[in-house]
Chain A
C-alpha cells in the first residue's frame, strides 16, 4: 500500500511539475490566443525590394530589416539588378503627401490580374508611408514603414486593443517589433518556433 501511495504521489508531482513548466514556457501564449493575419499572402516569403526614386531609402532598409531574421521562410532582400519587373516590394517612404487627411500609410497588393485584396495570393506589393504633417518624429514615421511592410507580409491590425504591436493603427514612437509581431510572422510563415 505504501508503495502504491508513493507512486501516486510521485506521479502527481510529475504532473504538477510539467504543468508548471508549461505555464512558465507558454504562459504568455494566452496573450496571443489569436493571431491577426490575412488569409492571403505573398507567393513567396523571399522578397526583393527597392526604394522608389526620391523616397527615403534608409527608412526602407531599416523597416525591411525589422522583419528579417525572424522566420527562416521570410527574407526581404535589396534588389541590385536593373529589371524593375523583378522587384517584388516597392518602398515609397516619406516622399508624398496623403491623398485624404489622416492617412499615414497604405499598401497595395498585386498579382498578374492587377490589384488584389488580402485574401488573395500576391506577387507584388507597393508600400507607402506618406509624408504627413501628423508625424511628430522619425520613430513614428519608421513605425508606419514597418507597419506597411508588415501588411505586405500578411500581418493584419490586431483586433484586440490590449495587444502590443507595431501593426496597431496610429502614431507610435517605437518601430521595433514586439513579441506578438514576431510570433505572428512565424505563425503565418513558419520557419521558426512560436513557442
Chain B
C-alpha cells in the first residue's frame, strides 16, 4: 500500500520530469525562432525578391570535384543575369528545374581541353515577374566578376554548368584584378585553398601532395601567383587566410 509520504514523493518525481520536458522543449523553440529571424532579415536586405529553392546537392572535397570537373577555368563574367538568359525546364507542364546561361571570357584554363567554351549554366534564374531564384544559398555571378569555376557537362541539355552550386564556383576578383578580400570570402575554404595550392603556387611536388592528398596543411604561409597578383595563403582552423 502506498502511504501519503510515498504518494508525495511520486508527485515530486513526476513534477521534476514534467518540468524537465517543458524546459527542454522551450529551449528548442528559442533556437528555431532565431533561424526564422535570420531568414526574414536576409530577404529584407535584398532589393529584388529572392526565392531560395531547396534541394539535394552532391557534396565534394577538392580531389572529388577536380576529378568530376571536365573543365576548371578562371573566367570573367561578361553579362548580367536577366530573364532573357534564364532557362526554365518543364515536364508534364510542371517546372522541374532552372538555370541561367552566362557568357564568360576565359582568362585561364586549368583543366580540360575544350577551348571553345564561352558560356555555361549556373543554378539561378530570373522569372518573368522579376523574382530571382537561387538554388540553396548560391548567388548569381556578377558582371565583370572574376571566378574560379569547376564545370561539368553532365546536365539535361549537355551544356557545361557549374558543379553543385557553391562547391563549383569561387569568387576571385573583379575587372581582371584578383582581390584577396573577395578570395577570402568563399564558402568552401578548403577547396579554394587546395585549388590555389594546386594551380597557383610553386611549392615542391611532395609538399603539394601532402596538402592535396593527405590534407596535411603547412603552418607557414604559401606564396601564390594568380593573374598578375602575388599573395600568400594560410589554411588554419578550417579558415582560409590570404595576405598581401
Binding site for B on A (CB under 8 A): 10-11, 14-15, 17-19, 21-22, 25-26, 29, 32-37, 39, 52-54, 90, 92, 95-108, 114-119, 126, 128-130, 132-134, 144, 147-148, 151, 156-157, 169-171, 187, 194-195
Could you jot down 17 A-B contacts, CB within 8 Å? A22-B20, A33-B27, A98-B97, A99-B89, A99-B121, A100-B99, A101-B161, A102-B57, A105-B56, A114-B129, A118-B52, A126-B96, A128-B96, A130-B97, A144-B56, A171-B59, A187-B32
Knowing A52-B91, A126-B95, the reply to whether A99 touches B123 (Cβ < 8 A) is: yes
A35 to B39, CA, bound (A): 15
Q: Which 6 interchain pairs have the tightest Cβ spacing?
A: A102-B164, A18-B16, A99-B97, A106-B55, A170-B59, A101-B152
Q: Identify B58's interface contact among A90, A116, A170, CB under 8 A.
A: A170
In the complex, the chain A residue whose C-beta lies closest to that of B129 is A114
Q: A99-B161, A102-B60, A119-B39 are in contact. List 10 more A-B contacts (CB 8 A).
A: A26-B20, A96-B96, A99-B121, A102-B163, A104-B58, A107-B55, A115-B133, A118-B52, A130-B97, A148-B55
B21 at the interface (CB under 8 A from A): yes
In the complex, the chain B residue whose C-beta lies closest to that of A106 is B55
B104 at the interface (CB under 8 A from A): no
A52 to B89, CA, bound (A): 15
B227 at the interface (CB under 8 A from A): no
Q: Identify A99's interface contact among B9, B24, B155, B164, CB under 8 A.
A: B155
A52 touching B94 by the CB < 8 A rule? yes
List chain A residues, Cβ under 8 A from B168.
Answer: 101-102
Interface centre among B40, B52, B156, B167, by most A CB within 10 Å?
B156
A132 to B60, CA, bound (A): 16
Chain B binding surface, main DSSP class: mixed
A101 touching B96 by the CB < 8 A rule? no
Smallest CB separation, B55 vs chain A (Å) = 4
In the complex, the chain A residue whose C-beta lies closest to that of B58 is A102
In the complex, the chain B residue whose C-beta lies closest to that of A170 is B59
Smallest CB separation, A159 vs chain B (Å) = 8
Knowing A18-B17, A22-B17, the reply to whether A100 touches B55 (Cβ < 8 A) is: no
A59 to B163, CA, bound (A): 26
List chain B residues, Cβ under 8 A from A128.
Answer: 96-97
B9 touching A10 by the CB < 8 A rule? yes
A117 touching B52 by the CB < 8 A rule? yes
List chain B residues, Cβ under 8 A from A114.
Answer: 129
In the complex, the chain A residue whose C-beta lies closest to that of B122 is A100
B32 touching A37 by the CB < 8 A rule? yes
B87 at the interface (CB under 8 A from A): yes
B191 at the interface (CB under 8 A from A): no
B window 53-111: CB within 8 A of A: 53-60, 68, 87, 89, 91-92, 94-99
List chain A residues, Cβ under 8 A from B52.
Answer: 117-118
In the complex, the chain A residue whose C-beta lies closest to that of B100 is A100
Smallest CB separation, B25 vs chain A (Å) = 7
A34 touching B96 by the CB < 8 A rule? no
In the complex, the chain A residue whose C-beta lies closest to that of B157 is A99
A25 touching B51 by the CB < 8 A rule? no
B window 223-239: CB within 8 A of A: none
A100 to B99, CA, bound (A): 7
Q: Identify A117's interface contact among B53, B152, B153, B156, CB under 8 A.
A: B53
List chain A residues, Cβ under 8 A from B13.
Answer: 14, 17-18, 21
A117 touching B51 by the CB < 8 A rule? yes
In the complex, the chain A residue whose C-beta lies closest to that of B98 is A99
B204 at the interface (CB under 8 A from A): no
A53 to B16, CA, bound (A): 55
A119 touching B98 by the CB < 8 A rule? no
In the complex, the chain B residue whose C-beta lies closest to that of A23 is B20
Q: Identify A101's interface contact among B24, B27, B40, B155, CB under 8 A.
A: B155
Q: Identify A103's interface contact among B35, B95, B97, CB under 8 A.
A: B97
A129 to B55, CA, bound (A): 9
A117 to B127, CA, bound (A): 14
